[in-house]
Amino acid sequence: MTKPLTPPKKIAIMGHPDIPEALKVAKNVRQFLETRGVEAQAGSLYDEGFRDTIQKNEFDLLIALGGDGTMLRAGHLCAPVDVPLLGINVGHFGFLVELNRKEWRNILPRLLTGDFRYEERMMLKAHCVRDGEEETISDVINDVVVARGQYVRPIEVEAFLDGSFITGYVADGLIAATPTGSTAYALAAGGPILPPEIRNILLMPVAPHLSIDRAVVLSEGASVFIRVKTKHEAVVSVDGKEPVHLSSGDGVRIIAHEKSLKMVRFEDPGYFYRHLTMHMEQNPLFGKRINGHSD
């Protein structure tokens, strides 16, 4: 029998401000926890004062309400300070979230008795290299994408492993993904699905032309450098954030992060494959009106 984990005593609850229902549910979750003796605080994902309390490690757990976009934003907030993350889906898509908006009242009591487990998700570090200088270090939960910019023309991309040249691509771009990111952009580009508990780096070209079109799976200890060669615009984006422009010869260096994103799970490890099948059979965006916000 698995020994119960220590229940969290102080919980932060963050809703995506562009999803009205997320903020409403956040308040309901806070009231639910407070009636059971748990100290809880609810607010917006973009409230700077609230975010500071997370980064100061003042909470034992962060509950995020939204979709996978919200989970990524919350993960970037809590992973560096080792605060576990639990997601409640009130957004469109939910590969990363654990609970839906209809079941959280029935499942959350298990959190308070220690009847849950932690799932460690591998992260990466991305070092942007421009004009020969390393400028930016970014935490990566999903993926690093080096791609063409506004011009609809492929770029040349070179990939190096531990300082040695692997191969070159003529393509729209190259994705370096974690196992978590294997079900995001890399999956859309035709890449393999990696289970969340493994620790490998996935390289996946996007629309390669007369180039290797297969994914490459690298070990956790690999150091990858992606360099662009182009006469027009290229960019690098981490987890869908604002892109950074790259000139020919610039690139990004990618290594495994010493930190992991710790996620709360109530289901057994087989949940990943059950949920994957469900998502692949029916995209929840079909037939729904998109309101213009990212969840």
Of the candidates 62, 51, 75, 66, the one whose C-alpha atom is nearest the C-alpha of residue 19 is 66
Name the residue among 165, 26, 169 with its Cα closest to residue 108.
26
Q: Which of 210, 172, 214 shows the shortest CA–CA distance to 191?
A: 214
Residue 104, CA distances (Å) to 28, 174, 253 in order: 10, 38, 40
DSSP, collapsed to helix, strand or coil, labels residue 215 as coil
> Residue holding tokens 């932690």?
118
Known catalytic membership, residue 68: yes
- Computed from CA positions of residues 124, 125, 128, 132, in that sequence, does the dihedral angle turn out positive or negative? negative
- Enter the tokens of residue 28: 């309901």
As a whole number of angstroms, the longest Cα–Cα distance in the chain is 62
Select from 220, 215, 34 the least CA-distant residue to 121: 220
- Set 47, 60, 68, 268: catalytic member: 68
Angle at 64 between CA 124 and CA 126, to 5 degrees: 15
Residue found by looking up tokens 């997320």 in the block: 22
Q: How many residues does the chain have?
A: 295
Active site residues: 68
